[in-house]
Amino acid sequence: MGAIVALGFAGILLVNAGCGGFMEAVLPTESRLVHEGDYWSLKQLMEQRISRLDSADFTDLYHLCESYSKLKVYDKLFPCLDQMERDIKNGTKFYNISSQFKEPTVLQHDISPYPSQTRAQAYIELGNLKGAIAEASKAYELEKQRTKERNHGAWASARLILGTDVRVPGLLVLAYSLLGDRDRAMTFLEPMERKDPWKDTQSVKPIELAKAYMTLGLYEKAYAVTQDKDLSFWVTVQGENLSRDFLLPFRFMRYKSGYELGHVQEAKIGYDELLEQPQTKTSGAIYWLILVNRAQISEREKDSHQAIDFYKRAVEVIEQQRSTISTEASKIGFVGDKQQVYQKLVAVLLSQGQNAEAFEYVERSKSRALVDLLASKQDFSTPPAQEQRVAQLLSELKTAEEQALMQNASVKSEGKMRSARGVQVAGQLKSEAPELAALVSVTYARTAEIQALLQPDETLVEYYGEGSNLVAFVLTRTQVQAIKLDGVTLTADVQQFRTALEDSRSSQYAESSKKLYSRLIKPLVPSLTTSKLLIVPHGVLHYLPLTALCEGTTCLLDRYSLRLLPSASVMPFLKSRKRDQGESLLAFGNPDLGNPQYDLKFAQEEAVAIAKTFPGAKVLVRKEASKTALRTMGGQFTYLHFATHGKFEPDAPMQSGLLLAGSTPGIDVLTLGDLYSLRLNADLVTLSACETGLGKLHNGDDVVGLTRGFLYAGSSSIVASLWQVDDRATSLLMTEFYANLKKGDKREALRQAQLSVKKQYPHPFYWAAFQLTGMP
C-alpha cells in the first residue's frame, strides 16, 4: 500500500471530481510532501509534530511510519508500526484523507493491514523471509476481512486503484519464492490473476503481476503483461517525481523479461533509453541492474572494453550504499546478486590480461561482502581518543544514507549534494579511522601496497570465483599471476572430503585429498617458490583444511607453513598494530553451560596445563568462564585462549559465536556482533574447541566473520578449528603449540604442533582442523 494510500486517495478525488478539481485542490503539507516524494522533509515534519508515539494522532503516525519505510530507517520503523498496531487494536484504524475543494472533503480509510504489510516488505528487504511471510499472511487475512466490509462502490474502486488486493499476495509470492518454496508461491499467484469486474488501465495490477512473474521466472508472462500498458494515469495522479516508482520499474521489467526471452536488441535499445533518463540514476536499486544487463549485452557483442565500463559503473553504484536492503525485490520482484557483478568484471578483466586490476576488484568484492554482513550493526568499538569524533562521523554517514534514499527526482541538484556529502563523510572516516571505515564502506588496498607488505620469503595465494570461473591469484613482491582452475563440482568435492574425514578409522579421505590437491594446488606449484604461504580462501574453500591436501604421502603441511587472511586488504591494519610488552595469558576452559552434555573435561585440563607455561596467567573455568569476565579482563592480556564450544548460524552469521557461561545458569553467547564492539590487546586468540560442523557448508560468511571480528577487536592473529576435534588430541596439539610459540613464529609453531600430533594420530581428523589467521 505504502505511499499510494495518500496519493491514491488524491487520485480517487481526481476520478470523482475531474482533473481540474484535483489541480484546484489545496493539499495539506504532509500530503504535498508525499506527492513530491520528499520523505526526508515528511520525516522531519512528523518528528517535530510527534513528541511521543503513544500520544500521536493516528494519521500523523501513519505518515511518520511511511517516511521511515521509504527511507529504510528500520530501527525507528518497527517501533512506529508497533504503535500503529496497538492503536488499531484499541479501535483506531482510520486514516483521514482530506482535501479542499469548494467545500472541505474528508474520507476515512481503514488501514488495519498496513502495519503487517509494511513490516513484511521491510523484512523482505532485510532478508528475513520467514518473518515476511508471517506478517504478509497476517495482512492477507486482514485485507480479506476489510474487503468483505467495504467491497462496494467507490471503495471497491479505491481498493483496485490502491492495489491492496494484489500487493499483499504479491508480497507472499515474493517471500516464498525467495525462500525457495515455488509451489507455495504459486498458490498466491492465482488470486492475483483472477478476473476483476473493476479491471481498468488505471489499476496497479499489471505492475504487481509483472513483479510476481519476474519473481517466479515466468518471463513470457512478465513480457506479455508489460507490453502496451498505459500507465500515464500514475503520472497524472502522482506527478512526475513519484511516477518513476511505477514507470521505471515497469519498463525495466519489460526489457529484462525480453532479454531473458532472447529479445536482445529490443532490450539494448530500451536499456540505453533508460540510462539516458536522470530518474534512472536516482534509483540505485534498478540502476545497477540495468548497467549489468547492458554489460552482458556488450559481452555477447564481443565488446569487452564496453562491458568493462558498464560493469565498473555498476560496481560504483553498488558501493555507494552501505545497506544490504533488497529494494529491487520490492520494486521489480527480482534480486540481483551483487557479488556476481564483481565476478563478471574480474573475468572480463582477466580475459584482457589486466591481472593487477582484477585482483583489486576481488578485494573490493570481499570488502562489499563484509559491509553487507555488518550492515545492521551500528555500535562499533573505537579507541577511546576517537570515540566522540567517530560517533559523529557515523551519525553523519547514516544521515547521508537516509537522504540518499529519498524518492524525489525533482531535486536533482540537492540529491547530488547529499550524495557528495556521503562520499565526503566516508572519506573523513577512512582518514581518521581507516579500519572502522572498512566495516561501513567499501575500502581496499592497492595491489602494489599488498605486494609491499608481503614478507620476502612469502607467497600470497588468493582464490576467487566458482565453477569454470575459479581463479587463483599468486602474488609475490614482484609479480602478479592469475591461474585459472577447475572449480566445477568443487562444493561437492569439498563436502565429500569433509564427510570422509568424519571416520577417523578409515583412509577413504586420501582419494578426495589427492583430487582436491590436483585441482587447487598442483597448477600453482611452479609459482610457489617460497616455503611460507599466505592463503586467502573464497566461498566453500573457507571450510577446506588445506594442510590435509596431499599428493601421495606428502601433504601441504609437510611442504609449507601456512597462514590465512579473510582478505588481503586487512594486512595494513595488522602491520600497524603496536602491543604492550609481556606474555600474559587469559584462558577460558569448559564453561558451565547448564547442561552436562556440553562439558569438555580435557578442555578444562588443557586450559590449566597451558596456563602453567605462562607466568601471571589466569584460568577461568566453569561458571567463571563468562562473557562478563571477557569484557572486564580481556583487554589486559596478550594471549586469549578459549576451550569451549562454538555456535555457527549460517543463515544469521551475526549470531554465530562462542558459548560461555551466563551470569545465571545457562549459556551466554559471545556473538560476532559482540566482537565488533570489543576492544582487545591480544597478540593471539586461540579457539581450540570451536566448530563449524563437518556436515555444514555455506558461503563462508560464518568462518570469515568470526576471525575478522577478532582481528577488528584487536587481535593480531587467531588460531581456530574447522570442526570439533577429539578432546585429547586437541589438548596435546595445544600444549605443543604454546611450547613452540616461545620460539617466535606462530605459523611455524602451529605447523610443528600439527606434525607432532600427526605422528601419534596420523588421520587428518585429529590435526588438520586448526588454521592460523592473521599475523605470523
Report whether 214 contacts 334 (CB < 8 A): yes
Cα–chain center distance at 366: 11
**Which of the four pLDDT bands, split at 50, 70 and 90, describes residue 613?**
confident
The per-residue pLDDT for range 516-532, each reduced to its tens digit, is 999 999 999 999 999 99
What's the pLDDT score for residue 601? Answer: 73
Tally of CB atoms within 10 A around 553: 7
Report whether 397 contacts 404 (CB < 8 A): no
The per-residue pLDDT for range 305-351, each reduced to its tens digit, is 999 999 999 999 998 876 666 777 778 887 788 889 999 999 999 99
728 pLDDT more than 60: yes
The per-residue pLDDT for range 579-610, each reduced to its tens digit, is 555 568 898 888 888 777 777 777 788 788 88
**Which of the four pLDDT bands, split at 50, 70 and 90, describes residue 205?**
confident
Q: Which residue has the cell 469548494?
A: 102
Rounded Cα distance between 207 and 247, Å, is 9
* Average pLDDT rounded to a whole number, residues 110-128: 89
Range among 26-35, 468-477, 650-659, 738-747 rated most confident? 468-477
Torsion of CA 366, 568, 398, 250, to 10 degrees: -20
Mapping DSSP onto H, E and C, the string for 448-517 reads HHHHHHCCCCEEEEEEECCECCCEEEEECCCCEEEEECCECCHHHHHHHHHHHHCCCCCCCHHHHHHHHH
**Which of the four pLDDT bands, split at 50, 70 and 90, describes residue 382?**
confident
**Which of the four pLDDT bands, split at 50, 70 and 90, describes residue 710?**
confident
State whether residue 490 is helix, strand or coil: helix
- The CATH number assigned to the domain with range 457-571 reads 3.30.420
373 pLDDT more than 80: no
198 pLDDT more than 50: no
What's the pLDDT score for residue 203? Answer: 59
Q: Residues with Cβ < 8 Å from 417, sequence gap 6 or more? A: none
**Which of the four pLDDT bands, split at 50, 70 and 90, describes residue 575?**
low
Report whether 719 contacts 684 (CB < 8 A): yes
Range among 410-419, 592-601, 735-744 rated most confident? 735-744
C-alpha cell at 726: 577429539
* Average pLDDT rounded to a whole number, residues 477-489: 94
What's the pLDDT score for residue 415? Answer: 41
What's the pLDDT score for residue 667? Answer: 82
* Average pLDDT rounded to a whole number, residues 546-552: 90
CATH architecture of 574-774: 3-Layer(aba) Sandwich (3.40)
286 pLDDT more than 70: yes
Phi, psi angles (nearest 5°) of residue 643: -105, 80
Rounded Cα distance between 476 and 472, Å, is 13
* Average pLDDT rounded to a whole number, residues 747-752: 91
* Average pLDDT rounded to a whole number, residues 62-78: 90
Range among 32-36, 124-128, 343-347 rated most confident? 343-347
C-alpha cell at 299: 559481452
Q: Determine what percent of the chain is predicted with pLDDT higher than 90.
A: 35
State whether residue 706 is helix, strand or coil: helix
Full DSSP string of 64-122: HHHHHHHHT-HHHHHHHHHHHHHHHHTT--EEEEEEESSSEEEEEEE-TTHHHHHHHHH
Give the CB-side neighbour count of residue 522, counting CA atoms within 13 A: 13
701 pLDDT more than 60: no
What's the pLDDT score for residue 248? Answer: 85
Residue with the bigger pLDDT between 368 and 342: it is 342
Domain ranges of the chain: 457-571, 574-774
Report whether 361 contacts 315 (CB < 8 A): yes
Rounded Cα distance between 252 and 269, Å, is 12
